[in-house]
Amino acid sequence: MLAACRVCARPEPELLHASMLEQTLTSESKLRRGRLKIHLCANCAHVMSDEGGFDDVAGYYGAEYDSLLDSPEADDLYDLDANLQPVYRSQIQLQNLVRLANLPAKGRLLDFGCGKGAFLSRFQRQYPGWELHGCDVSERYRPFVEPLTGPGRFAVTSLEQAEAPGSGFDLVTLFFVAEHLVEPAGTLARIAALLGPTGLLYLTVPNVMTNTIDAFLADHLSHFSALSLAALVHRAGLRPLVVSEHHQLGQITLMAAPDPSTAARPPARLGGDLVDACAAAIRTAVARWVECGARLEAFLRRRPRGHGALAVYGAGVFGSYLTLAAGPAREAIACYLDQSPFKAGKAHLGRPVVHPREIPADVSDVLVGLNPGRAHDILAQAGLLHRAGLRFFFP
Ligand SMILES: [Zn+2]
- Which amino acid, one-letter code, is at 196? G
- Output the CA 280–ligand 1 centroid distance in Å: 15
Output the DSSP codes for 123-189: HHHH-TTSEEEEEES-GGGHHHHHHHH-TT-EEE--SSS---S-S-EEEEEEES-GGG-SSHHHHHH
Provide CB contacts within 8 A for 62, sequence distance 6+: 137, 138
Contact assessment for residue 282 and residue 22, using Cβ atoms and an 8 Å cutoff = no
Q: What percent of the chain has pLDDT above 90?
A: 64
- Output the CA 269–ligand 1 centroid distance in Å: 9
d(CA 23, CA 172): 35
The fourth-level CATH superfamily of domain 303-393 is NAD(P)-binding Rossmann-like Domain (3.40.50.720)
Q: Using pLDDT thresholds of 50, 70 and 90, give the confidence band for residue 179.
A: very high
Look at residue 211 and tell me whether its pLDDT is greater than 60. Answer: yes
For the stretch 348-390, pLDDT in tens is 999 999 999 999 999 999 999 998 888 999 999 999 998 888 9
d(CA 332, CA 193): 52
d(CA 224, CA 258): 21
d(CA 122, CA 113): 15
DSSP 3-state assignment of 96?
helix
Q: Edge to edge, what strands does the sheet with 37-41 contain?
A: 14-18, 37-41, 46-49, 222-223
- Output the CA 194–ligand 1 centroid distance in Å: 25
Q: What is the pLDDT of residue 77?
A: 66
- Output the CA 75–ligand 1 centroid distance in Å: 31
Look at residue 167 and tell me whether its pLDDT is greater than 90. Answer: no
- Output the CA 147–ligand 1 centroid distance in Å: 41
- Output the CA 232–ligand 1 centroid distance in Å: 9
Contact assessment for residue 275 and residue 45, using Cβ atoms and an 8 Å cutoff = yes
d(CA 204, CA 133): 18
Output the DSSP codes for 221-273: -EEB-HHHHHHHHHHTTEEEEEEESSSSTTEEEEEEEE-GGGGGS--S----H
- Rg, Å, the chain Cα set: 21
- Output the CA 225–ligand 1 centroid distance in Å: 11
- Output the CA 352–ligand 1 centroid distance in Å: 42
DSSP 3-state assignment of 276?
helix
Contact assessment for residue 337 and residue 354, using Cβ atoms and an 8 Å cutoff = yes
Q: What is the pLDDT of residue 76?
A: 66
d(CA 140, CA 289): 36
d(CA 180, CA 218): 9
- Output the CA 40–ligand 1 centroid distance in Å: 8
Q: Phi/psi of residue 181, each to 5°? A: -70, 140
For the stretch 243-277, pLDDT in tens is 999 888 889 999 999 997 876 666 666 778 999 99
Residue 73: CA count within 13 A, CB half-sphere? 11
Q: Using pLDDT thresholds of 50, 70 and 90, give the confidence band for residue 64.
A: low
- Output the CA 6–ligand 1 centroid distance in Å: 7
Give the residue, 322 or 75, on which the prediction is more confident. Answer: 322
Contact assessment for residue 336 and residue 358, using Cβ atoms and an 8 Å cutoff = no
d(CA 320, CA 318): 5
Residue 187: CA count within 13 A, CB half-sphere? 21
All structural domains of the chain with their residue ranges: 303-393
For the stretch 219-237, pLDDT in tens is 899 999 999 999 999 999 9
Q: What's the count of helices (H) and strands (E) in the chain, helices before strands?
A: 9, 21
- Output the CA 235–ligand 1 centroid distance in Å: 11
- Output the CA 123–ligand 1 centroid distance in Å: 34
Q: Using pLDDT thresholds of 50, 70 and 90, give the confidence band for residue 68.
A: very low
Look at residue 58 and tell me whether its pLDDT is greater than 90. Answer: no
